[in-house]
Amino acid sequence: MTWEGVFPAVTTKFTKDFALDFDGFGKNIDQQLAAGVDGIIIGGTLGESSVLNNDEKNALLKYTLERVEGKVPVVLNIAEGSTLEAVKIAESAAKAGLSGLMMLPPMRYKSDHRETVTYFKTVAEATGLQIMIYNNPVDYKVEVTLDMFEELAACRNIDAVKESTRDVVNVTRMINRFGDRFSIMSGVDTLAMESLVMGAKGWVAGLVCAFPAETVAIYRLVKAGRIEEAVEINRWFMPLLELDTHSKLVQYIKLAEAEAGLGTETVRPPRLTLIGAEREAVLNIIRTGIKNRPVLPDYRSLEKAAIA
């Protein structure tokens, strides 16, 4: 598998009584594939993994693999407090036929340098799956530093990073230190275009769940060197992309999916659907974006080559 291109961190769809909505989930996956995404990530924050039990996660995993039919890689997120549990999930994912794993540092405990490195190495040594480290110290309080990546480079299957430090300069720091040893995937929607220009290989995207074509278009245009066209789409997209940086990103993006006809706004408690002035403010952003949606160039025909 190549960590390159647009990888949606897809939402999990629920019925009104909070059961898994496989029909709605599958329709969204189909739209992602039709837009030209390069991979699918399940079980992340947007996927509300914290409120899914193991049986539901396994059912989603199986369904996604069947729906995708090998067209693109399927990646599972691991966000566990226990190293032993993380190893079990990684082993199970490999048997199920997944292409790779996205991994956060240990949850609910702020691990130090040695503990963080040991956690990742232990899981990497237990599986042959490729692993993308999810580096998000803003939300999860543990930063995977360049010195940690130096040690993790010894694990051949740790070969990518979801760069979510909110510091776009970190893309350059990683490339300066490690060259192409780690594929850098931008993990913050608002910084994705800039990260791609600086050398990131791809984009783990959120608003792609509601706007797949626009997301893939920006990626393809940047990689084809058509920066001005990408900038114009990105400027239109920015108010929507900023919904990805809020603590209620799940509710915001699901509302965007509902307005775009690609899902519903149903979330599982303790999350609650938006109400009142907050909902109206977010709806205004979404509806304004949909009303002014740009006409896209024929981005599907563009080569996914690196910027000259």
CB 164 within 8 A of CB 157: no
Residue 129 CA to residue 97 CA, distance in Å, equals 10
Domain of residue 217, CATH code:
3.20.20.70
Query: Is 39 inside a domain boundary?
Result: yes
In total, how many domains does the chain have?
1
Q: Which of 142, 137, 106 is nearest to 121 (CA)?
A: 106
- Residue 274, SS3? coil
Query: What's the pLDDT score for residue 131?
Result: 98
158: containing domain: 5-301
Q: What is the dihedral of CA 223, 226, 232, 233, to 10 degrees?
A: -40
Query: Is 295 inside a domain boundary?
Result: yes
CB 200 within 8 A of CB 167: no
Query: Is 296 inside a domain boundary?
Result: yes
Q: What are phi and psi of 204, to 5 degrees?
A: -85, 105
147-169 b/e with 16+ CB inside 10 Å = b? ebbebbeebeebbbbbbbbeebe
- Which stretches of 154-225 are assigned E, i.e. beta strand? 158-163, 183-186, 202-205
How do the pLDDT tens digits run along the chain, 308 residues long?
899 999 999 999 999 999 999 999 999 999 999 999 999 999 999 999 999 998 999 999 999 999 999 999 999 999 999 999 999 999 999 999 999 999 999 999 999 999 999 999 999 999 999 999 999 999 999 999 999 999 999 999 999 999 999 999 999 999 999 999 999 999 999 999 999 999 999 999 999 999 999 999 999 999 999 999 999 999 999 999 999 999 999 999 999 999 999 999 999 999 999 999 999 999 999 999 999 999 999 999 986 544 44
- Residue 108, SS3? coil
Query: Is 275 inside a domain boundary?
Result: yes
Query: Is 306 inside a domain boundary?
Result: no
* Partner residues linked to 5 by β-bridges: 202
Residue 178 CA to residue 103 CA, distance in Å, equals 20
CB 96 within 8 A of CB 122: no
Residue 38 CA to residue 289 CA, distance in Å, equals 24
Q: Which of 210, 190, 211, 208 is nearest to 265 (CA)?
A: 210
Query: Is 111 inside a domain boundary?
Result: yes
Position 57, amino acid = K
pTM: 0.96
Is residue 114 within a helix (H) or strand (E), and if so which, with residue range?
Answer: helix 113-125
Other Cβ atoms less than 10 A from the Cβ of 13: the count is 25
Query: Is 207 inside a domain boundary?
Result: yes
Query: Is 308 inside a domain boundary?
Result: no
Is residue 216 within a helix (H) or strand (E), and if so which, with residue range?
Answer: helix 212-223
